[in-house]
Amino acid sequence: MTLMNNKLLIPFLLVLFTFFSCAEEQNFDQLDDLSVVPTLATGIFYFESPEDVINSLPPGNFYNQTFTFEAFNEAFVSERVLDGSITYQLENTTSKELSLLVEFLDETDTVLDSEVFTVQPQPSPLLEREVVYGDTGKSLDILRNTTRIRVSSENLGNNSSESTANDPRIILRSSAVFRVRLQ
Amino acid sequence: MRKIKLFLFTVLIGTGFLSAQNKQLLYDFYEIPQSLLVNPGVKTPYKWHAGIPVLSGVAIQAGTSGITVNDLFANDGLNFTDKVREKVVNGLSQRDEFGGSGQIELLYGGFRIANRPDTYYSFGIYGEGYLSQFWPKDLAILAFEGNGNNIGRRFNLNHLTLTGEAVNVFHFGINKVVDNKLQIGFRGKFYSSVFHFRSTGNQGYFETTEGENNLLRNTVVADLQLQTSGIESFLDILDDDSISAGEEFPKNFTRRALFGGDLGLGVDLGFTYQLNNRTTLTGSLLDLGFIYYSTDVKNYTLKGTASNEGIEIILPESFNDLNSDIWENLVDDIEAQVPLETNTNSYVSLRPIKLNASIRYNFGEQKRRTEDCYCGTNTVINNTPFNYKNAVGGQLFVINRPRGPQAALTAFYQTRIGNALAVKATYTADKFTMTNIGLGLNFQAGPVNFYILGDNLLGYRNIPDSNYASLQFGFNIISWNSN
| B113 belongs to a structural domain | yes
Return residues 177-236 of B near A (CB < 8 Å).
208, 211, 213-218
B364 Cβ under 8 Å from any chain A Cβ: no
Interval B113-150: pLDDT, tens: 989 999 999 999 999 988 888 899 999 999 999 999 99
As a whole number of angstroms, the distance between CA B37 and CA B165 comes to: 20
- Report yes or no on B9 lying in a domain: yes
| Positions of E strands within chain A | 39-50, 60-68, 81-92, 98-105, 111-119, 127-133, 148-155, 169-180
DSSP summary character for residue B33: G
Query: For residue A51, what is the domain's CATH number?
Result: 2.60.120
Nearest CA in chain A to B145: A38
Q: How far apart are CA A53 and CA A60, in angstroms?
A: 13
Number of structural domains found in chain A: 1
Question: Across the interface, which of A14, A24, A30 has its CB nearest the CB of B70?
Answer: A24
Smallest CA–CA distance from A65 into chain B, residue: B322
Q: Mutate which of A7, A16, A51, A65 to test chain B, going by most B C-beta atoms within 10 A?
A: A65
B315 touches chain A (CB under 8 A): yes
Instruction: Report pLDDT digits (tens) over B277-323.
Output: 899 999 999 999 999 999 999 999 999 999 999 999 998 988 888 78
Q: Which of A36, A39, A175 sits opposite B216 (nearest CB)?
A: A175
The residues facing B127 across adjacent strands are: B104, B168
Q: Residue B239 domain-assigned?
A: yes
Domain containing A129: what range?
34-180
The verdict on a CB contact (< 8 Å) between A26 and B74 is: yes
Mutate to test the interface with B, among A28, A29, A37, A47 (most CBs of B within 10 A): A47
Q: For an interface test with B, which of A10, A48, A151 has the most B Cβ atoms less than 10 Å from its Cβ?
A: A48
**Closest Cα to residue B67, out of B34, B90, B100?**
B90
Query: Which pLDDT tens digit goes with each residue over B369-406?
Result: 444 444 433 333 444 567 778 999 999 999 887 777 88
**Domain tally for chain B?**
1
A9 near B CB under 8 A: no
Residue B483 lies in a domain: no
HEC string of B431-453? CCCCCEEEEEEEEEECCEEEEEE
What is the structure's pLDDT at B366? 57
- pLDDT given at position B60: 87
- Ramachandran sector of residue B464 (left: φ over 0; alpha: ψ -120 to 50; beta: rest): alpha
Closest partner residue to A65 (CB to CB) among B218, B313, B457 is B313
Contact assessment for residue B448 and residue B468, using Cβ atoms and an 8 Å cutoff? no
- Structural domain including B125 reads 2-478
CB neighbour list of residue A133: distance below 8 Å, 6 or more residues apart: A83, A84, A85, A86, A139, A140, A142, A143, A178
CATH number at residue B91: 2.40.160
The answer to whether B312 contacts A8, with C-beta atoms less than 8 Å apart, is no
Q: Is residue B393 part of a domain?
A: yes
| Percentage of chain B exceeding pLDDT 70 | 91
Give the pTM.
Answer: 0.81
Nearest CA of chain B to the CA of A65: how many Å? 6
> Do the Cβ atoms of B170 and B187 come closer than 8 Å?
no
For residue A105, being part of any structural domain is answered with yes
Residues found in chain A? 183
Q: Is the pLDDT of residue A9 over 60?
A: no
What does the pLDDT read at residue B455? 85
Q: Is residue B69 part of a domain?
A: yes
Name the band, by pLDDT with cuts 50, 70 and 90, for residue A14.
low
Check the CA dihedral B287-B262-B61-B447 and report its sign: negative
